[in-house]
Structure 1
Amino acid sequence: MAPVDVDFDGPLAVVTLAAPPLNLFDAELVAALRVAIASVAQAPQARGLLIQATGRAVSAGVDVNLFAPLDPVSGAALWRDWFAMIHQLESLPLPTVFAAHALCLTAAFEVSLACDLLLAAESARFGLVEIVVGLTPSMGGPQRLAERAGPARARELIYTGELYDAATLERWNVVNRVLPDDGFAGAARAFARRLADGPTQAHAATKAIVRAQLDGGTRAADEVTPVISGALFGTEDLQNAVASFLRDGPGKASYTGR
């Protein structure tokens, strides 16, 4: 069976890490995940993405066998290659949600940080434990943790190599929502499906504006907002929603465009 599965729940693309029990990030899984993300980018029906996993762990991390033959040149090449996947995921013009039902280590945790939102089950635990092999997280974990939780928290999490529960990371603004273990998969899918059913191009505009603020500050985001938001007036999403709002009233607006 393929280590990564892709299917659709209406407009929601669902990418599942399916190499239980540990979903180790080896060359095969990473290649399959890259193909899966690319397929979502090319799918005209995709209006949202949920990344989830099967098995007793979301992932136990990277298969350390990958590291044994590497030297400084080939190590740098590996990270550049994996960053291409991370950047493609971040660049998707639609809401992306990562659902962590259980233990989520190293590469999988870093993939979750490249998603817009991170949902976690109550019993889920997270860790960037690369110190056990003398490495620092190198798929964007330090910088994306710093973006969410601040630099001191990012350093603490990585320096200690400890496992952190979902409630702690929710307080640190790393996890968006903690959901009950019972029914977690269904609740996470329903949440992601609700986003996918929304105004896709408005969500893409939100992503662009937030990124502009993170990259250049509030005034930089102010500069690009009129152009980004103004373009929405030409979309079917906005035109259909405005018409249905005026026709049917608040709470009944619909989105049928892209």
Structure 2
Amino acid sequence: MTEEEYWETALEGLEIGLRDAVRIYVCYQNQYYVANKAAFNNRMAYGLGDGLNGWSLVTANTKDKEVRATQFSAQGALFMSAWDPIGTDGFNDTYSNNIAQPLFDRESFESPVSAMQTPNRTVARMDTLKAAVELDPEGNLVGKVPIPGQAVRYDSAKKAWVPMGAGQTSMVSCTYDLVLSNYHHGVPMEMADFLYAAAFLQEWVTQDGPDDPYYDEEYASNMSSDAGIYRAYIHDVKESSITSYFDYYFPASDERMVGAFPPLLSATAS
């Protein structure tokens, strides 16, 4: 698929949706929130549709570098999901997410202002981006970017990182520089955190036999499609960079293609 084919198909779908939709919403309800203006260096951000949200707290620029927020809910509706940072049942309700999401550091994110994919903990070297695909005889999109034999993947059965070997391909490859600092409790971030997250994902979505204790069906149902996109990695500890080989092809935007599936720092399903 080329960029021209993508936009032709997308705009056709948009036209059909606008023409045949039962309802087209042209207005929204205003809601009002209170903030202490004297505590901020500039205005507090809020969403036009949802009011105060995670970005309100993440972008809050206060004079003392602290934000104190109060949230209210209907009786009996507070913290409806389990306090689980990994599984599918954790951090799913509004109130838990109001606490958890500002503490979660993304590898990259979609800008709430421009909708552009924006690097955060992983910065793609755009001059290393390679993307090549073709249709196989069955009409499936397959990658044509060669994966070096020394690139590694996590083998859940062997509990080890193993070389891919010769003859493998992916749709895309790109090298990412890692932006490392300290965690909130002072422990430095390192390459091992990215290896652990990638291994965790593959471990828990893969069932190695009927009695595999390191397999979770609910987690796998939510995350296995993402796990299948990541093919292999080359880790450069000295340069603090990772070259990733993956199967996500999006010809309309190179930034979104490299930003949607960067090397993992978190494997949460919440």
TM-score relative to the length of structure 1: 0.21
- Structure possessing the higher radius of gyration over alpha carbons: 2
Higher helix share: 1
The higher relative CO (CA closer than 8 Å, separation ≥ 6) is in: 2
TM-score relative to the length of structure 2: 0.20
